[in-house]
Amino acid sequence: MCQNALEKLGISHLKERIFTNLSGGEKQLVYLARVLSSKAKIIFMDEPVSGLDFGNQIKLLNLIKTLSKVAT
């Protein structure tokens, strides 16, 4: 389940890294992977793209869009 969330976000390469050594954007994506792997029914996000580079902002927003379609 966790590996699936990491792959969905394209961050499988981070799984062996120490969390405190990650950038702010990488930490943000790891937090989201954690939420996805817990299969939470509701996700509250305050400034979800804060700290992410432009490419990861688009990836995250597209993922949120996809998840919202699955939930409805």
Which DSSP string do the residues of the chain spell out, in sequence order?
A: -HHHHHHHHT-GGGTTS-GGGS-HHHHHHHHHHHHHHTT-S----SSTTTT--HHHHHHHHHHHHHHHHHH-
This prediction's pTM: 0.76
**Count of CA atoms in the C-beta half-sphere (13 A) of 63:** 20
Cα gap 46→43, rounded to integer Å: 10
pLDDT digits (tens, 9 = 90+) for 10-69: 899 999 999 999 988 888 889 889 988 998 888 888 888 888 889 888 888 888 888 888
| Residue 22, phi then psi, degrees to nearest 5 | -80, 155
The number of folded domains in the chain is: 1
Instruction: Identify the domain containing residue 52 by its residue range.
Output: 2-71
